[in-house]
A and B are shown apart, each in its own frame.
Chain A
Amino acid sequence: MNPARYLILRPADLIGLALAVAAALVLPFLVRDDYSANVLVLILLYAGLASSWNIIGGLAGQFSLGHSAFLGIGAYTSTLLYNYAGISPWLGMLAGGSISVVLALLISYPTFRMRGVFFAMATLAVGETLRILLIYSRKFFPLPYSLSIDYQPGLARMIFEDRASYALLAGCYLLTCLACTFVLSRSYTGFYLRAIRDNDEAADAAGVPVRRYKLIAFLVSAFLTALGGTLMAQYVLYIEPGTVLSIELSVDLPLMAILGGIGTILGPLVGAAILLPLRETLVEMLGGAASGAHLVLYGFLLILIVVLLPNGLLGGLDRLRALTRSKPGPSADAAKTAGVQP
């Protein structure tokens, strides 16, 4: 069976592949100073998480604001299994992914009836409820508020001495997420998900099993997000409801995807590569000046980018390419009709 029969492949994909591999597998060996290496780990990890979000939020157009739930489940499952049962995070990661998939399946029943902002609000509630339940459950279980993982480097324990190893691990995670996105977006499922995103009623009438494909996107997204949760726990070696289950995470992932280009394959990576260094730099420059000053500038810059590039950076690139291409010759007709539109 020839995969090219079932996938749309474009010449520009080679450039994208080269960029992604360079970021994920080459940069970790080049970045030496500790500060940059930390930023690199975070970029690759968050890019993977934002890519995972992009599968349900971008490809399928279901704007989840509850992905902290999946991330938190990933982080907590592997950490609890490791701390209390000595189970390797490599296995704990899969366990967390599986539990996330079950949760996603359960919440799909009430939430998939809702569209747009209602789906966003419902998923937001799921994430927040999980965080509050976890805090509240300490009344009944002898669970500490925060969990630390003992620093004992070892591959089986997924704990490393150097940041480069973490960067490489996060890079592999990112490539996995990108590969899933690529297959889902460039095969027949890509057509189905876009149809669902554009108009679910028309998709249904055209024979697209709307619920099934929304669910596939949601489950893959939940599973990959949970894997990233384990990676985050193993990197920071400390988790608490206020970090891995925070609403900030649920907002950051869509933010990165939107910034880079929602629904595109490399958009989330581009978004993470801009957002995280920007935030780090602002904290450094202004963090001491007045509390929250960096957030004001951060918010201002985000608004500016979204206003100037409503389709994200990659969307802006696409438009630029369309403009330069439509000037001469063959597709002048298309440009003309587009111009007639008010």
Chain B
Amino acid sequence: MSPSLLSVAGVTKRFGGLVAVDDVSLEVAPGEIVGLIGPNGAGKTTLFNMMAGAFPPDRGDIVFDGHSLRGRSAATICRLGLVRTFQIPQPFGSMTVLETIQTAALLHDRSIAASRAAALAIARRVGLEGREASPTPSLTNAQKKRLEVARALGANPKLILLDEVMAGLNAAEVARMLILVQQLRRDGVTVVLVEHNMEAVLRVSDRLVVLETGRKIADGPPRSVVEDPAVIRAYLGEGTEEDAA
């Protein structure tokens, strides 16, 4: 097995009495597309937020590219090459599409012309060409999701964390987004995606990690994971009182 780019080791996070993420470990190898799935409340978003540095785990450690993320802000994690998108797009409201991407691209080159050129190339890459001068509030939801990916790409990441980029998109838009995700891998970017859209995540992922009530219950190739009885039980339930416990 190749050395992992992202390594989550025994991570636990509590909110008051609720154990949102319970002793989860997982590895992501360079060049992989890993889907993180699970029913509502499984702890996907909590784990995702810890990987992106939004808050630290109570126990365990997350190591990216040889650096522990403990005590690092989202901005410094971004500099290491681990960048996230937001489930609900968070565009910079006073900026145009190009300026938004340029803001992230300035991370590596503070020259206006160079960051602009990089931002133009990324706008084309994610399919926002022709909208470069549009103010971000005028974009459609699908375009805002693409802009999230574009801004993340502006920081030139090694690994991109996609938070439900397919949510709320129609079939045609999902298809375009899937092409974009596969394109990212071809460009050498490793992808971890949290996704509710099972069909989409099965089509694009090399590997699935399944969480249920904070624990990891499955980790493997998509086809074998979806046939795993534990996963089926987590999604469909058993219809017994045990679930309530």
Contact = CB atoms under 8 A, between A and B. Distances in A.
B104 interface: yes
Contacts of A210: 75
A334 B106 contact: no
A209 interface: yes
Interface in B75-98: 75-76, 78-79, 83-84, 86, 90-95
B28 interface: no
A66 B74 CA distance: 30
Contacts of B104: 206-207
Contact of A199 (B90, B113, B115, B134): B90
A331 B107 CA distance: 30
Given A6-B111, A341-B137, A195 B74 contact: no
A198 B76 CA distance: 20
Given A202-B86, A202-B91, A208 B75 contact: yes
Given A6-B110, A194-B92, A198-B92, A208 B103 contact: yes
Contact of A207 (B83, B86, B91): B83
Given A192-B103, A341-B137, A202 B92 contact: yes
Nearest to A337: B138
Contact of A191 (B73, B76, B83, B102): B102
B44 interface: no
A198 B103 CA distance: 12
Contacts of B95: 194-195, 198
A209 B134 contact: no
Interface in B112-143: 112-115, 133-135, 137-138
B155 interface: yes
B138 A205 contact: no
A341 B138 CA distance: 7
A206 B78 contact: yes
A188 B92 CA distance: 15
B69 to A, nearest CB: 14
Contacts of A14: none
A203 B92 CA distance: 8
Contacts of A207: 75, 78-79, 83, 104, 107, 155
Which of A204, A205, A210, A341 has most B Cβ within 10 Å?
A205
A206 B112 contact: no
A16 B230 CA distance: 68
Contact of A6 (B91, B103, B112, B137): B112
B112 A8 contact: yes
A210 B92 CA distance: 14
A197 interface: yes
Given A6-B111, A188-B112, A206 B154 contact: yes
Interface in A179-213: 187-188, 191-192, 194-195, 197-199, 201-210
A202 B90 contact: yes
A25 to B, nearest CB: 29
A205 B74 contact: yes
A117 to B, nearest CB: 18
Given A197-B94, A198-B94, A205 B52 contact: yes
B99 interface: yes
B151 interface: yes
A216 B220 CA distance: 48
Given A197-B94, A206-B154, A206-B155, 12 more contacts: A187-B112, A191-B106, A195-B92, A199-B93, A201-B90, A202-B91, A203-B103, A206-B104, A206-B152, A207-B79, A209-B75, A210-B75
15 contacts: A6-B112, A7-B112, A188-B110, A194-B94, A194-B103, A195-B92, A195-B103, A198-B95, A199-B90, A204-B74, A205-B83, A205-B90, A206-B103, A334-B134, A341-B137
Interface of A: 5-8, 187-188, 191-192, 194-195, 197-199, 201-210, 331, 334, 337-338, 341
